[in-house]
Copies of this chain bind each other. A is one copy, B any other.
Amino acid sequence: VGGLNYRQSGVDTVAVADALRSLLAGLTYRAPASSGRPLTQIGHYAGIIRIGRESLAITTDTVGTKVLLAEQMGRWEEVGEDLVAINVNDLSAVGARPAALVDVISVPRADATIFGAIGRGINRGLRAARCSLLGGETAMVPDLVRGTDLGGTAVGFFPQGRRPILGRGIRPGDVLIGLPSRGLHSNGFTLVRKILETQQLDPRDARPGGTVQVGEELLAPTRIYAAAIEAIAQNPSLHGLAHISGGGIRNLLRLHPSRCFVLDAWPPVPPLFQWLAERGELSAEEQYQTFNMGIGFVLAVAARGEDSVIAALRRAGEPGARRIGRVTAGRGVRVPDARVEFASYR
C-alpha cells in the first residue's frame, strides 16, 4: 500500500479550488470609494482597505479539524490560542499590527468547562499579539456541526510610516530567513488524524523518543510572530513575509509571480514531523505541502539587511531566527535536500 495523501485523507483541494472559482465568479460588485477603497485583490494573507485616513488589514480563518484532536484529548486551551494565532499571523504576513479580533464558536452543545478553557487560550493569544477581543458569536447548532468549530477574524493596521508588505519588492539575491514553528500549528490535522486512525495509534501514548503524549505534542499552540514582525516591519531591507500555514512552503509562491525560492539551508526537520512522515508513508512533496516542517514564518530580506534583521528578530524573542534559503530568478519553491519542488501555490 502506498502512503497517505491529503486528498485521500478527506481534503480534496481540487474540488475546493473549483468551488472557490465558482464563488468568486459571482463577486463582480465594486463598492464606491465612499465606502472605503480596497488596496488588494482577494488571495493575499489579509485584505487591505483604505478607510478614511487609515489602511486596515482584515483576515479570517478557522482552526479546522485540529479541534477534533482537542476533543479527543480533552484539551481546549491550545486551540483557543490557535484561533488568535492563525489570524494575527496572517496580519503579520502583510506587515500589519494586530488591533482587534472577533471569534466565532459553533458547537453541537454548550459546555461551560470547554468554553472556559477556550477563553483562557484566546486570552493567551491576545496577550502574545497585543490584540483586543472586540466581540464574537456563539452558535449552538447541533444539526449543523459535529464538533466545536472555532473561527475568527482579525483586523490590523499600519502605524504611521509603515506600509503594507506584499512581496512585490522581492528580488533575486534576497535571503530567506526562517522563524521556528512549535509543532504542527493548525494545519494538516485531517491527514494527522487519518494517520493515527489507519496506524491504530493512540494519541495518549508517547511516540518513540517523545517525552509527552503525542496528542499533547500535536496540540501545541501555533506560535505568534507579531512581536518579531513588529520589531522589523519598518526595516527597508524587508521585502516579503510568509506565514507557513495550509499549503506548507507553497505559501511562498503567493508572494511573487516570478521569483524562485530556494530553501537550501532548511534546518533539521523536528522528530515529530519525521515520525508522522514515517507512520503515514508520506512523500516529501506531501510533507512539505501539508506541514510547516519546523518553520512557521519566512521573511525575504535584501542580502545587505540579513545580519541586522536576524539580530533584531533575536532581540524580539526569536533566538532561532536563521537564514534558510535565498531568492533566485525563475519561478517556484524548492527544497534541494528533500528533492521537493513546487511550481504553484495551489
A contacts, CB < 8 Å to B? 10-12, 15-16, 18-32, 34-36, 38, 40, 42-44, 46-49, 51-54, 56, 58-62, 64-65, 67-68, 97-100, 102-107, 109-123, 126-127, 130-147, 149, 151, 153, 155, 157, 159-160, 190, 193
Contact = CB atoms under 8 A, between A and B. Distances in A.
A155 B122 CA distance: 21
Q: Which A-B residue pairs are the 7 nearest by beta carbons?
A: A47-B134, A26-B119, A153-B153, A36-B99, A19-B110, A23-B119, A19-B115
Nearest to A122: B27
B49 A52 contact: no
Given A143-B65, A155-B155, A136 B60 contact: yes
B146 A62 contact: no
Contact of A134 (B10, B34, B49): B49
Contacts of A61: 137
A132 B102 contact: no
Given A52-B159, A58-B155, 7 more contacts: A23-B119, A26-B119, A42-B134, A49-B155, A51-B54, A62-B137, A102-B153
Nearest to A49: B100
Contacts of A107: 19
Contact of A65 (B102, B113, B141): B141
B149 A149 contact: yes
Contact of A102 (B29, B60, B138, B139): B60
Contact of A144 (B24, B68, B112, B134): B68
B146 A42 contact: no
A328 B114 CA distance: 41
A220 to B, nearest CB: 19
Contacts of A121: 26
16 contacts: A11-B140, A18-B112, A19-B111, A25-B116, A26-B117, A26-B118, A29-B126, A29-B127, A31-B131, A35-B99, A42-B135, A49-B134, A49-B155, A58-B135, A60-B135, A153-B153
B31 A119 contact: no
A97 B26 CA distance: 23
Contacts of A43: 135
Contacts of A137: 60-62, 151
